[in-house]
A and B are shown apart, each in its own frame.
Chain A
Amino acid sequence: MRCQQLEQQWEDWLEGRDAPELAAHLQACAHCRTMAEEFRGLNAMVPLLRDEPPALAPGFWLRLRERIEATDRQEAYWAAFNSLAGRAAAVLAVLLLALSLLTLRQQPLTSVTGIDPVQEASTIPNVELSNGELTQDQVLVSLVEMDVKP
């Protein structure tokens, strides 16, 4: 078995757990045997770095509380700002809508072509039906001209 295929087994082997493939490999591979010795050396050296955790300075918790309170204040400010901004946006939207409605109402009644609708209607040629009666449009135009509501 190749050395790289056994990488996962080293931790078990170093902790004295069952790692039969690595154990067998170590019999045959001088490179890995050297590495095993080095790892044992490291395991003896690294614990020298183990320290007791340091004691905290007396003001540590007070400082933390102050930072937390400052964060809370900041969050409250942004929450209020966001809520205010949301409300302002809603009011603005309503105002814009009202303004556009008002503008639409104040515009004079014009047709799409820009000609007065009454004038436009009068341009429609008189077309009589074959039986001599007037068309519906002609009746409407006559009524408009006479200022009579249909």
Chain B
Amino acid sequence: MERRRLTEVGAPRGARPGQDEEQNLIRRAQKGDHEAFETLLRQHQRRVLSLISHLLRRPADIEDIAQQVFLKVYLALPRFDFRSAFGTWLYRIAVNECYDHLRRQRARKSAAAAEIPLEEVVSLEQLGSSATQPEGLDIVARTELRQVAEKLFRRLSPDDRLVLTLKELEGFSIEEIAQIMRLQESTVKVRIFRARKRLAEAYRRLVRARLPRS
């Protein structure tokens, strides 16, 4: 998949202002210039919304969380010291807000495996093989597979969902994820590996549950 560099994220293609312009906007916003603040956020809006939407997977919550994130950015901006890229700092706030939201949500409810309306469950090994790539499936099978993926993803812990989203859906590199989460790269690699392992286990359980008992 396309890997986007952190320093380039959030901006409409070809319209991102240079580093100096961004720093100028940040300084103005730090002095209370609301217009500069809004311009700054609009430049990162697309990426922040994508992150929130992929992490939460509930359209109804996206705008509320985005408001919370932007408000927190506004309150914390006077303390932003330019030591990291503004994008990294902003995504860190977004990730933390989503993480808290997921944890609160998880405390309230958990998804049920029985809801998955899959007619035929293929094994992950089959999916991984070239014969059964999602691209080769018909629209119904693809839709069903997406539903399965959606349910499995929702069942992941907030930690696992977070690293997999940043890596697989948002396309951040290990280095970028380490910066956002303030972790060592080696730790990020291990966390992603374990999240994949748990996702595969969840899928295996699902396949076992759906297969007719002999």
Contacts and interface: CB of A to CB of B under 8 A. Distances in A.
Given A48-B149, A54-B53, A8 B189 contact: yes
B128 A41 contact: yes
Nearest to B136: A44
A7 B54 CA distance: 25
B146 A48 contact: yes
B127 A41 contact: yes
A128 B142 CA distance: 122
Interface in A1-46: 7-12, 34-35, 37-46
A87 interface: no
Nearest to A61: B38
Contacts of B120: none
Interface stretch (A65-73, A99-107, A111-119, A131-139): A65-73
Contacts of B197: 35
A149 interface: no
B71 interface: yes
B52 to A, nearest CB: 8
Interface in B24-48: 34, 37-38, 42, 45-47
A46 B128 contact: no
Given A47-B1, A54-B49, A60-B66, A42 B196 contact: yes
Interface of B is mostly: helix
Nearest to A46: B168
A42 B124 contact: yes
Interface in B86-127: 123-127
B159 to A, nearest CB: 15
Interface of A is mostly: helix
Nearest to A33: B125
A54 B169 contact: no
B125 A41 contact: yes
Contacts of B74: 68, 71
Contact of A11 (B38, B57, B126, B192): B192
Contact of A8 (B1, B134, B146, B186): B186
Given A45-B127, A68-B34, A51 B53 contact: yes
Interface in B157-174: 164, 168-169, 174
B127 A39 contact: no
Interface in A50-77: 50-54, 56-57, 60-61, 63-65, 67-68, 71
Given A10-B189, A11-B174, A56 B66 contact: yes
B134 A60 contact: no
A16 to B, nearest CB: 13
B59 A54 contact: yes
A57 B145 CA distance: 30
Contacts of A39: 128, 196, 200
B149 to A, nearest CB: 5
A48 B125 CA distance: 17
Given A11-B189, A53-B47, A60-B67, 7 more contacts: A7-B193, A8-B190, A40-B128, A41-B129, A44-B134, A45-B127, A45-B134
Interface of A: 7-12, 34-35, 37-54, 56-57, 60-61, 63-65, 67-68, 71
Interface of B: 1, 34, 37-38, 42, 45-47, 49-50, 53-54, 57, 59, 62-63, 66-67, 70-71, 74-75, 123-129, 133-134, 142, 145-146, 148-150, 153, 164, 168-169, 174, 186, 189-190, 192-194, 196-197, 199-200, 203-204
